Structures are given as C-alpha cells and as structure tokens.
Amino acid sequence: MIDKPFSQACENNKRPILDILTRVFAHTQHVLEVGSGSGQHAVFFAQNLAHLTWQTSDLAINHAGINKWLDESPVTNVHRPMVLDLNENWPTPPPHRQVDAVYTANTLHIISWPLVVKFFKGIAKNLATKANVCIYGPFKYHGEFTSVSNASFDQWLKGRDHHSGIRDIEAILLLANSAGLSLIHDHVMPANNQLLVFSKN
Ligand SMILES: C[S@@+](CC[C@H](N)C(=O)[O-])C[C@H]1O[C@@H](n2cnc3c(N)ncnc32)[C@H](O)[C@@H]1O
C-alpha cells in the first residue's frame, strides 16, 4: 500500500493551465501526457475536458502513485499509465487512439539535455500534422532567468543532479523547430513559469 502522492505545485498551477488547455485542446481527442508525476494534473484536466481522453505516462516507478489517483477518482476518460521512458522508443497507442496532442509539465528542466533532444525526436516521429504540443515550466530568455527565485531553483536543481537545469528558450525553440513545431503562443504563467503552445506543421 502506498500513500497517494501529492504536489502542492500541481494544485497551485492546475487552474491557470486549464484555462489555456480548454482553448488549445477544444478539438483534441487524445492527449498523451509525458511525465505524469503524481497523476494530479491528469485527473483534474480530464475531469474538466470531458470531450477528450488523457493517456498518462511516466517511468514505471511512478505508476503506483498515478494509479492511486485514478483509483480514487470517478473520471472515466483517463487511461492507466504507460511506461514512456524518453531513453526508449515511445509506446504505440492503439489505432483508435491516435494521439493528437502532447502535454508535459515540469519535465524539461529535470531530464538531461540529451533526453530533451530525444523528447523532441519523439514528437517528430510520433505526432501527426496539426497536433498540438503544450510544455509547461520555467525557461531562461537571452541567458537570463525570469526571476531571482528561478535562478535559485536552477542552482538547487544542479546541486541535486548536474544534468538538470532551467533550459534556454532559444535552444528549446530550435529543437522544436527541427521537430516540425511552430510556436503558437508563449504564455506567461504564475510563479515565473511559461506555457509554450506549439502546432505540428
Ligand atoms: C518534476 S516531475 C513533474 C511531474 C508532473 N508533470 C508535475 O508537473 O508535477 C518530472 C517528471 O519527469 C519524469 N521523468 C524523469 N525522467 C524521465 C524519463 N527518462 N522519461 C520520462 N519521464 C521522465 C519523472 O518521473 C517525473 O514524473
């Protein structure tokens, strides 16, 4: 028996993120979430976006926690987590559930840069034209942090794992571009975060 994982950050950011996803995913059918973490976002967004299905994914170590959130929620449009390790090929969804959007939050500053590159290679390989990609988290602009607290957070991340760190938006946009993504909007979010919305060409 495990305790249900809880992220205060997810509680704080879920409504501002939902406000944007409601518009971006208005015509979306099947979302794949990369790095679902606790599973809180999946349950909340699926509850509030009842027209779509939400596929959770993460490293296997996080599946028990995500399943616990699903066990205790009445939502019927969230799929149990798949193993999606960015070091490996992405799992293939069943033909009737072709993913037409990808969502990921607070992952690109945790995973190593080679894995960020693989994330975008996965997008290039697995997403069809017109699919949307939403990426939430902190970024640097022109080499500068957007706040003093983000600079401290970056130091803390690197102290914990020197492969982690807040990414330069310019480098992310180059990778996105090479994956066939066009930036539609860079939303400024509370707590010095951004929500990047892309469309696949
Ligand atoms: C800071 S957590 C973010 C979780 C959640 N999305 C949120 O906003 O709270 C980073 C996530 O990246 C996932 N992650 C780390 N390495 C990964 C990998 N190689 N492939 C896929 N996900 C990975 C972790 O398991 C974790 O769920």
Domains and CATH numbers, the chain: 8-200 (3.40.50.150)
Residue range 157-199, pLDDT digits in tens = 999 999 999 999 999 999 999 999 999 999 999 999 999 999 9
What's the number of CA atoms in the CB half-sphere (13 Å) around residue 194? 22
Spell out where 44-152 has E strands.
53-58, 78-83, 101-105, 132-137, 139-141, 144-145
* pLDDT for res 92: 87
> Rounded to whole angstroms, what are the CA distances from 173 to 35, 36, 134?
20, 23, 13
Distance from Cα 108 to the centre of ligand 1, integer Å: 8
Q: pLDDT tens digits for 82-93?
A: 999 999 999 988
- Which of 7, 55, 59, 85 to probe ligand 1 with, by most ligand atoms within 8 A of CB? 59
CA 192 to ligand 1 centroid distance, Å: 19
pLDDT at 2: 78
Give the model confidence (pLDDT) of 141-168 as tens digits: 999 999 999 999 999 999 999 999 999 9
**Burial (CB count <10 Å: 0-12, 13-18, 19+), residue 188:** exposed
Asked if residues 41 and 16 have their Cβ atoms less than 8 Å apart, the reply is no
Burial of residue 201 (CB within 10 Å: 0-12, 13-18, 19+) is exposed
Of all protein residues, the one whose alpha carbon is nearest to atom 21 of ligand 1 is 85
Indicate which residue's Cα is closest to atom 14 of ligand 1. Answer: 35
**Cβ(85) – ligand 1 distance below 6 Å:** yes
User: According to the model, what pLDDT value does residue 34 have?
Assistant: 98
